[in-house]
Amino acid sequence: AACERGGSTLAGVGLNPGFIAERIALAMSGLCAQVDYIGSFEMVDGSYIDAPEFVFGTMGFGTDPSANDITKGPLAQLYFDLYIETFAYAADAMGTSIASILPDHRLTLAPDDMKIAAGIIRRGTVAATEWRWNAAFADGRRMTHSLLWTASPQLHGDDDPAHWRIEIKGRPNVNLSFSLEDPDPAAPPSRAGADATAATVIRAIPDVCSAKPGFFRFTPLAPFRERF
């Protein structure tokens, strides 16, 4: 209402949230004659991030779970408030609504002391957080959105190094994994993601500026719907 009164447009743009599930997964759903489930999974290697406050605070690394269960605290609420919009966007694009969302957060503890760019993760403290929610939609379809942030991908025994995986179960099943890689091997590890984030923002500027006042949203590319 404030935007409409002031003649302005508010847009939220980014990779995740904003692009992975909202644009890539929904576009993939358009390949399906039937959709039962959509899963969107992110994995970020945090070992190179030289920002102690971010790594040991916002990411939750180094936390002693016996003293502070971060999966039930304010950090979990922060991420829920952020990513519930992803579920709402996907549900609306497919012509349905959210019936329920349940958290399924998971912690991986350091098997030994681990040295990363931000400092030392002590044995037995959090070395990876998976912020994960499972949603049921009003039409019976389901969706999972997962963010795995880790001090070492090797902790998880997954041979797929992709930053993101998308799984759609239906007719047909559709699977996609992809990563962002900088063409310069000497570039900082975070540059590819920073470039991609900046690109999505820059590309959005003309569309946002020409949009009607209010909340801006990209129109999903022919996502799955039960009926036309």
Per-residue pLDDT tens listing for the chain (228 residues): 789 899 999 998 999 999 999 999 999 999 999 999 999 999 999 999 999 999 999 999 999 999 999 999 899 999 999 999 999 999 999 999 999 999 999 999 999 999 999 999 999 999 999 999 999 999 999 999 999 999 999 999 876 678 999 999 999 999 999 999 999 999 998 999 999 999 999 999 999 999 999 988 888 777 888 765
Pick the CATH number of 16-179 from 3.30.70, 3.40.50, 3.30.360, 1.10.3470: 3.30.360
Question: Can you give the pLDDT at residue 218?
Answer: 83
Neighbour count for residue 100 (Cβ, 10 Å): 9
State the residue for tokens 């949009």.
211
DSSP strands (E only) in 13-125: 34-45, 98-103, 106-109, 114-116, 119-121
CA 185 to chain centre: 26
d(CA 97, CA 139): 8
- DSSP codes, 132-171: EEEEEETTS-EEEEEEEEES-GGGGT-----SEEEEEEEE
Domain boundaries, the chain: 16-179
Amino acid type, 117: A
